[in-house]
Amino acid sequence: MPESNYRYAGLHRTKEPGLSVAEAVERLRRLAYVERRLVRLLASRIVTVAERDLKALLARLQYEDALHADLLRRRVLEMRTNRSKLESAPDAGWEALFDEAEHLPGSYPFLAVVTLVLKPELRNAFESYLVTTNHLADYGSVRAMQHILTDEAEHDRLLHAALDDLTPSKEGRDTAGVWEQKLRGYLAAAGGLDGTGRRGTPPAGEGSSGPYRIPHTLTRDESLSRVWDYVVPPLEAVPEHLDYMMGLRLSEINVAEGLAIVLFETEGMPWEFYLDISRHLWDEMRHSLFGEAAIEQTYGHRTAIPMRDYEAIYALEAPPLEQYAVLGLEVEGKNMRYPPGKRQEWEFARDMAGHPLMTTLQDFDWADEVLHVNIARRQLDEWFEGGLKAISEFSRHGKDHRSEVKGRQAPTAIVHPAEPQS
């Protein structure tokens, strides 16, 4: 009689000895480390690549990679393993590989190496795990990886689309080729991303010097027009106030970039800090996309309303702890007050502007912001010496710094765009 195809609850490789717990833990912690380093690498580029659409994609990918790292870490902790095993690099080879990758120059070489080298290697490592382990014994890892691989297939599709969209110079292509080869050398030396291959000798003498630092310069393409700051129209000037709100959302990319700096430059924090900041970062980029979608839907093109710059300049100037305290306690914290606050924005979109899409977006924006205030309070309580009790003067001082940056140039009144002809 043929075996029924739902026996063993539909799981595979049930009679293969597969991996031991020790072997599984070793591979999983390597993969968790790789995902964690990808979060850092992708986040850093949100600041340095010019292309807006690419910045937005990287914000999503870095968060989904953070979720992958978290799944893998949780799985490792289920398998007789102490948390301390997860805190350090599993091997100097991986550390060298990602330290070097952080120096990848430009949009094209960076995207080419991530799309054509790092991500495919990562998918191979997951697939090789799945054809090795016993799915019944190691069910938790298998389930996590199957979910991760679904995301990774989507990442692959999106990254290829983004790469195809760039038009590199010959020099950009050549640089990408050199970097692909260089990082393949590091990969070979580490025995592949899961460490199961034969180890080679580390590439000698070609590493970039010193740790990578994100250049603190505003980097933008020409996809949107920009102003320093907006003149705030009164609530009663409904069409103008709606434009202003859409512009505010659009400009939240500044906050996402600031959080990318917080994530990258704050070292030695517990994993949960990075997971929280990664999520916060992606949420703020989503809010910027809220603005983009609302503007495009209302006026037919996303350039109808300019974004404002001053918040980005503040985020590039202020130390990470200061900008995070200002964001979480002063800006987002104050948004919880009603009126005005987030609730009023939502009511304005619904009742005064009668804009169904902005109503939905503001509704979810409000929900996100409540979450962010809670995240910020939790993280700052641990991060700031003396905790939340001691932080108020520090964050007020940061807010003054932000106001000083804001005041450096006069605000511009948004010109109400013409509605598209239907």
- Residues in contact with Fe ion by the rule CB under 5 A: 252, 284, 287, 332, 369, 372
CB nearer Fe ion, residue 64 or residue 369:
369
Q: Which helix (H) or strand (E) holds 356?
A: helix 356-383
Nearest to 159 by CA among 104, 103, 111, 126: 111
User: CB of residue 100 vs Fe ion: minimum separation in angstroms?
Assistant: 33
Closer CB to Fe ion, 28 or 255, in the complex: 255
| Residue 323 C-beta: closest distance to Fe ion, Å | 13
* Residue 133 vs 251, nearer CB to Fe ion: 251
- Minimum Å distance from CB 368 to Fe ion? 6
Which lies closer to Fe ion via its Cβ, residue 311 or residue 332? 332
Task: Round to whole Å and give the CA distance between 329 and 323.
Answer: 10
Give me the residues paired with residue 307 across strands.
Answer: 226
Residue closer to Fe ion, measured from CB, 276 or 369:
369
Q: In whole angstroms, how close is the CB of 235 to Fe ion at the nearest point?
A: 20
Min. distance of Cβ 303 from Fe ion in angstroms? 21
Helical pair 21-48 and 52-77, crossing angle rounded to 10 deg: 160
- Those residues whose C-beta lies under 8 Å from the C-beta of residue 213, and which sit 6 or more positions away, are none
For residue 326 the two structure tokens come to 């200002």
122 within 8 A of 68, measured Cβ to Cβ: no
Residues 290 and 326 sit within 8 Å (Cβ to Cβ): no
- Closest distance of CB 321 from Fe ion, Å: 17
The rounded distance, in Å, linking the Cα atoms of 84 and 412 is 52
Selection from 298, 290, 296, 283 nearest residue 250 by Cα: 290
What 3-state DSSP class applies to 352?
Answer: helix
Closer to Fe ion at the Cβ: 135 or 308? 308
Handedness of CA 249, 252, 253, 259 (dihedral sign): negative
